[in-house]
């Protein structure tokens, strides 16, 4: 197989840095990113690709047809998210944004790295035994852009089955040029749990004639935390935080109701399902025992990001082959943040991981983290990032070729 080389990637680097800095200067938030979409389309212009754009969001899906696609009838998906955050930038970069939004999560690098991967794979498409779907995604930051792209058909874009899906996220506070991932659970599911405690208002001096929603609501918080410690495995944990508790108007009044708004993080689909089922029941039955009613809503907004074991191994091994074992880290624990690429990984075996992107020559661990107005991501690694993504796609398709050559699987 002929694969893109480090020299190919370095040759591309100045152009990628130029694109990244232009995206960084013009960040856009949410699902509608017209300037960003235009930049991507311009960067892909003239290449032999099937390109479509989203209907409900400004996504770009590009499909590269491999010259040897008939030998596998398989495709691999590479994803880069493109949206920024509503943060006033304080990085001091000479290409800093001044429009009230900021690429504080480094999605400008994700977009650009994916553009680089398109170019590297396009130059080697003749030997590619399958197709590659490039998923340029808006709205990762709380807009479920991935779910919307799945609704619009990104997973069927190639017309052949996807056998692998990969994505990377940069970190402003991790070593540049280093990769981090793990098999299995990698990032948390995020669920929102709202409880309105329905009591009966009355005089503060006569609680026996009322049903006090504040007393019961406060006790409920402890009940939920206790239930979690007794009923869930500590190694597949549940993180429950009551972020809002509102009720009452004055010291001498028992109010009619109180409201709790709770966030729940879980790390496996099984635990997410149990939390959905059991925590509302605990709340309802505990409050009923005190004679109170409840209005309850529990919604899982994002599933856990779970890497396929074999694909995570392949992801880490590919990085090691390219850049050396001392730059690859199998992390011990999942990260507690959430990520909508989880929706793709629920349907296609694949792997997600982080790439360090601290500025060169600084103490990475002391840097400001993603989402800080002072988060500074370096872009010297963009060539390597593109090369890594390109190798994930090409090597995975070649592995598929080896498997089909070995005969049909039973
Ligand atoms: Zn992000």
Q: Give CA–CA dist 233/166, Å, rounded.
A: 29
Tell me the mean pLDDT in the region 194-218: 98
Q: Is the pLDDT of residue 326 over 50?
A: yes
Half-sphere exposure of 149 (CA within 13 A, CB side): 33
Tell me the mean pLDDT in the region 375-385: 98
pLDDT band for position 407 (cuts 50, 70, 90): low
Sequence-ordered list of residues with C-beta below 8 angstroms from that of 201, at least 6 positions apart, any chain: 210, 253, 254, 255, 256
The CA 139 to ligand 1 mean position distance, Å, reads 10
Tell me the mean pLDDT in the region 164-192: 97
The CA 96 to ligand 1 mean position distance, Å, reads 18
| pLDDT number for residue 406 | 78
| Residue 358 token pair | 């601290």
Average pLDDT over the chain, rounded to whole? 97
Half-sphere exposure of 275 (CA within 13 A, CB side): 32
The CA 193 to ligand 1 mean position distance, Å, reads 24
The CA 339 to ligand 1 mean position distance, Å, reads 8
Tell me the mean pLDDT in the region 137-163: 97
| pLDDT number for residue 364 | 95
| pLDDT number for residue 408 | 60
Instruction: Show the DSSP H helices in 152-245 as ranges.
Output: 213-231
The CA 214 to ligand 1 mean position distance, Å, reads 37
The CA 334 to ligand 1 mean position distance, Å, reads 16
Q: Is the pLDDT of residue 314 over 80?
A: yes
The one-character DSSP state at 246 is: E
Place of tokens 């400008």: 108
| pLDDT number for residue 409 | 52
The CA 195 to ligand 1 mean position distance, Å, reads 29
Of the chain, the percentage scoring pLDDT greater than 70 comes to: 99
The CA 98 to ligand 1 mean position distance, Å, reads 20
| pLDDT number for residue 403 | 87
Mapped onto helix, strand or coil, the DSSP state of residue 76 is strand
What is the per-residue DSSP string for 161-181? -EEEEEEEEEETTS-TT-EEE
The CA 250 to ligand 1 mean position distance, Å, reads 42
| pLDDT number for residue 282 | 98
| Residue 127 token pair | 């030997």
- pTM value is 0.92
Quick: pLDDT tens for 181-195.
999 999 999 999 999
pLDDT band for position 66 (cuts 50, 70, 90): very high
Tell me the mean pLDDT in the region 107-131: 98
Q: Give CA–CA dist 163/393, Å, rounded.
A: 10
The CA 140 to ligand 1 mean position distance, Å, reads 7
| pLDDT number for residue 371 | 95
Half-sphere exposure of 220 (CA within 13 A, CB side): 35
Tell me the mean pLDDT in the region 138-158: 97
| pLDDT number for residue 410 | 44
The CA 105 to ligand 1 mean position distance, Å, reads 5
Q: Give CA–CA dist 192/300, Å, rounded.
A: 6
The CA 328 to ligand 1 mean position distance, Å, reads 21
């Amino acid at each position: 197989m002929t694969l893109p080389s480090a020299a190919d990637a370095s040759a591309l680097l100045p152009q990628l840095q130029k694109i990244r800095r232009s995206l960084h200067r013009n960040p856009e938030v949410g699902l509608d990113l017209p300037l960003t979409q235009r930049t991507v389309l311009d960067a892909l212009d003239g290449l032999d690709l099937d390109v479509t754009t989203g209907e409900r969001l400004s996504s770009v899906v590009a499909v590269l047809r491999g010259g040897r696609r008939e030998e596998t009838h398989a495709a691999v998906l590479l994803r880069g998210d493109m949206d920024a955050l509503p943060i006033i930038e304080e990085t001091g970069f000479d290409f800093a944004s001044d429009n009230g939004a900021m690429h504080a999560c480094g999605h400008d690098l994700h977009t650009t790295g994916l553009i680089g991967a398109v170019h590297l794979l396009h130059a080697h498409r003749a030997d590619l035994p399958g197709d590659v779907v490039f998923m340029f995604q808006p709205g990762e930051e709380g807009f479920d852009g991935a779910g919307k792209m799945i609704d619009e058909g990104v997973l069927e874009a190639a017309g052949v089955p996807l056998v692998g899906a990969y994505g990377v996220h940069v970190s402003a506070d991790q070593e540049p040029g280093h990769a981090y991932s793990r098999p299995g659970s990698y990032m948390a599911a995020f669920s929102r749990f709202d409880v309105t405690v329905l009591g009966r208002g009355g005089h503060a001096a006569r609680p026996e004639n009322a049903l006090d929603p504040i007393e019961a609501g406060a006790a409920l918080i402890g009940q939920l935390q206790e239930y979690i410690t007794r009923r869930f495995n500590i190694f597949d944990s549940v993180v429950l935080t009551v972020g809002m508790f509102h009720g009452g108007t004055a010291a001498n009044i028992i109010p009619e109701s109180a409201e709790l708004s709770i966030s729940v993080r879980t790390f496996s689909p099984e635990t997410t399902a149990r939390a959905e089922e059991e925590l509302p029941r605990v709340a309802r039955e505990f409050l009923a025992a005190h004679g109170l009613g409840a209005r309850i809503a529990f919604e899982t907004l994002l599933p856990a990001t779970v890497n396929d074991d074999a694909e995570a191994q392949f992801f880490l091994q590919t990085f090691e082959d390219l850049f050396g074992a001392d730059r690859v880290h199998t992390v011990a624990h999942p990260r507690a943040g959430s990520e909508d690429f989880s929706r793709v990984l629920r349907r296609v075996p694949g792997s997600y991981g982080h790439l360090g992107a601290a500025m060169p020559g600084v103490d990475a661990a002391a840097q400001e983290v993603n989402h800080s107005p002072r988060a500074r991501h370096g872009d010297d690694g963009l060539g390597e990032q593109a090369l890594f993504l390109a190798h994930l796609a090409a090597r995975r398709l070649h592995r598929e070729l080896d498997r089909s050559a070995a005969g049909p699987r039973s």
